[in-house]
Amino acid sequence: SGEAILYRQAQRESAARTYARSLPVVPVRARGMTVEGADGRRYLDCLSGAGTLALGHNHPAVLEAIRRVLDSGAPLHVLDLATPVKDEFTTALFETLPPALADHGRIQFCGPAGTDAVEAAIKLARIATGRAGLLAFSGAYHGMTAAALAATGDTEARAVVESDSRVTRLPYPYDYRCPFGTGGERGAELSARLTASLLDDPKGGVQHPAAMLVEPVQGEGGVIPAPNDWLRRMREITAARGIPLIADEVQTGVGRTGTFWAVERSGIVPDVMVLSKAIGGSLPLAVIVYREELDAWHPGAHAGTFRGNQLAMAAGTATLRFVARHALHERAEAVGSRMLCRLRGLAAHHSCIGDVRGHGLMIGVELVDADAAPDDYGALPAAPRLAARVQQEALRRGLIIELGGRHASVVRLLPPLTITDEQAEAVLDRLADAIEAAGR
């Protein structure tokens, strides 16, 4: 039974397990955005494998692509050898990239997780520039291996690799709750000015970093979209100083934020893009794509046994093509805008909703302590306990949501891009009920 499975897993699995703690669901079947638990209960899934499932669970196009490879007799494991399946994937991916990267870009298969690709991107930039330092941002999340973790904003998670002092952390613009004590437009402006002056200060020690690493929309950090102007400023600042700009699109990619890639919203073209999650169509796949001028590493400089998962490439090709053919990024923008609108209406009636933000179907609802005094900039303290109650109340109502943000007080909605209007309404109905119940 589900109960027994939950019990055994809790006994045997590492104390570091995460989602299984707050989401006691034992999924046995899933289709689209519906997940069925071992107890027969059905849930609407707004976690989507932490933003992985652009087409939801078990999409027919993805299953069909996987079956085709299985039935073809193609080898499943090929290291990084050239194959027709890989050729198709690379072609499909390059068709979606900003032209400047598609026309003059290279791809490095990393694998199999997003973190692996972040490591590769940092390494590539260090090799290509001959420099070591890295610029990263407060609240950032890039993964859990040493270099990726060093770039991550969470000080507690970072402590184990804190000796990697080559990361300079800059303020990420966070309208609602700027960690540097100034919000809104001024936060973005301050962040840009600080970055430029830090890089130009001969005593600052960071004049020549190997790269700047940025999420166009912070995901784990609490769904915080970077303002377009700010991203353009970062592009100008790095370009003017010959610093490669790495965009981590692990979570934002493949239509999630309303454009195929999140960088398109601001029009910037990064030097390196880090891609994973949705590009594998629910199977593990991670790559970096980058300007060919950076391709200065030698053969074998970045290897890995599992860089050639044929099933993941086939599932990824099917996903990329389906999203492109049906313009699901546009659908994400349209449905996401309606959801944001309704959530803002909800915020007007619930003082515990401090902020509603996002792009496309990457939406965050920041829960706050409405009884506390606001800080100097009008932000109320984060309400992690309330958020945890909302998550549990949502689960009771058949809605799977994830929390994020620096204090785990932000409800994150990451439904598949295939979500129907009715499902979007149902998600918001259940979430509204859950907030109501949790606040009582």
Give contact residues for ligand PMP (rule: CB under 6 A): 50, 113-115, 118, 141-143, 215, 219-220, 248, 250-251, 276
Backbone torsions φ then ψ of 198, nearest 5 degrees: -65, -40
Return all residues near 64 (Cβ < 8 A) that are at least 6 apart.
318
Tell me whether strands 34-37 and 27-31 are parallel, antiparallel or unpaired: antiparallel
User: 222 or 308: whose CB is closer to ligand PMP?
Assistant: 222
Task: State in angstroms the smallest separation of the CB of 141 from ligand PMP.
Answer: 5
Measured from the CB of residue 252, what is the shortest distance to ligand PMP in angstroms?
7
List C-alpha distances in Å: 131 to 143, 158, 202, 333: 22, 22, 16, 39
> Measured from the CB atom, is 142 or 331 closer to ligand PMP?
142
Structure tokens given for 222: 């609490």
For residue 210, give the nearest of 275, 140, 294 by alpha carbon: 294
Give min distance, CB of 225 to ligand PMP, in A: 13
Q: Which is nearer to ligand PMP, 152 or 423 (CB)?
A: 152
Tell me which H or E stretch contains 391: helix 384-396
Compare residues 250 and 428 and give the one whose CB is closer to ligand PMP: 250
Instruction: Count the Cβ atoms, other than its own, within 10 Å of residue 137.
Output: 26
Q: Are 415 and 371 in contact (CB under 8 A)?
A: no
Pick between residue 37 and residue 258 the one whose CB is nearest to ligand PMP: 258
**Minimum distance from CB of 205 to ligand PMP (Å)?**
26
CA nearest neighbour of 204 among 233, 152, 173, 241? 241
Cis geometry, peptide bond prior to residue 112 (ω within 30 degrees of 0) = yes
The span from the CA of 262 to the CA of 214, in Å, is: 12
Minimum CB separation of residue 286 from ligand PMP in Å reads 7
Nearer to ligand PMP among residue 257 and residue 423 (C-beta): 257
Q: Encoding tokens for residue 231? A: 């991203």
Residue type, 236: E
Tokens coding 198: 């830090």
Nearest-approach distance from CB 254 to ligand PMP, in angstroms: 13
Element (H, E) at 285: none
* Nearer CB in complex with ligand PMP: 218/317: 218
At closest approach, how far in Å is the CB of 110 from ligand PMP? 10
State the residue number with the nearest CB to ligand PMP: 114
Measured from the CB of residue 409, what is the shortest distance to ligand PMP in angstroms? 18
Strand partners, 167: 134
Closest to ligand PMP by CB, 248 or 271: 248
